[in-house]
Structure 1
């Protein structure tokens, strides 16, 4: 019969020290995560502002707030902002999850912090060239794939670091 230990786990041995404010890599992650979450929240506000400015309301109950009688779904300005916001959700959320897992493996601190910064700035630039000031391709594609490849690198790194445990 196995005995259950009531002893507190050694945080250093368990790897939990990586996810504390004592770890500059984790602090860098917290900072850039906060910035990206705020950016995503602002996209909701920007969508609402575009809807109000163009009188493009998708729900009948919203029409009571304005003088228009028609539900509209096809305003190009509203749709552009919505697509940029959706792109954020499809790319930032996996990045944030993968980055946290990546930190738990104890990566090189300098490389990890550089990757976080590049990915976050890339997503901010992506929004600027997609939702605010459309720029011809390949600008948007470069910013998209920068974050994509950073997320993929982290996933590959974690897979290689943990393959012996499967």
Structure 2
């Protein structure tokens, strides 16, 4: 009987899932960078990081990064969870790679579109493409389920 680590799709899923998780994690540092350079913080204890110029406030560039990060969290976590189930359901390698690459590319483009304020519908379409890739994997999991 073949083990879970004999699954030819798993290393590819691990690669693409790690890529989007690391991208999501990197957004924390982008937020910190924007907060430090703008001197705006969310908590009183953080104001001491930038003595003399720090204040509790909001800034559009900080909020834009935070919204992008939140959108990543809302999409990357379902991708990882559904992707694990999808990988375990035995998809063909070519189909799996197509799903993983589409999602990863869509999320990277979504971040670029969000951070550089590219005109709509670029951000909306990239969100939709990634979302549909996850839905497609979920459909495949459900249609291959033995219930």
* Common topology (TM > 0.5): yes
1:69 positional shift: 5.8
Rounded Cα–Cα distance in structure 1 between residues aligned with 2:55 and 2:106 = 38
1:77-156 correspondence runs (5 A): 77-131=61-115, 133-156=116-139
Partner-residue secondary structure (3-state), 2:117? coil
1:8-62 deviation digits (Å, cap 9, x = unpaired): xxx42xxxx3x31x43311110111111111111100000000000001111111
TM-score (norm 1): 0.83
Taking only aligned residues, the RMSD between alpha carbons, in angstroms, comes to 1.3
Larger Rg: 1
Structure 1: 4+ residue segments shifted above 4 A: none
1:32 aligns with 2:16: yes
For the 8 Å contact 2:40–2:54, the answer to whether it is kept is no
Structure 2: any 5+ residue segments left out of the alignment?
none
2: distance between equivalents of 1:127 and 1:160? 32
Q: Is the 8 A contact 2:99 2:137 kept in 1?
A: no
In the comparison of the two structures, how many residue pairs are matched?
A: 146
CA distance in 2, matches of 1:69, 1:104: 49
TM-score of the aligned structures, taking structure 2 as reference length: 0.94
Q: Which one of the candidate residues 3, 22, 35 is aligned to 1:51?
A: 35
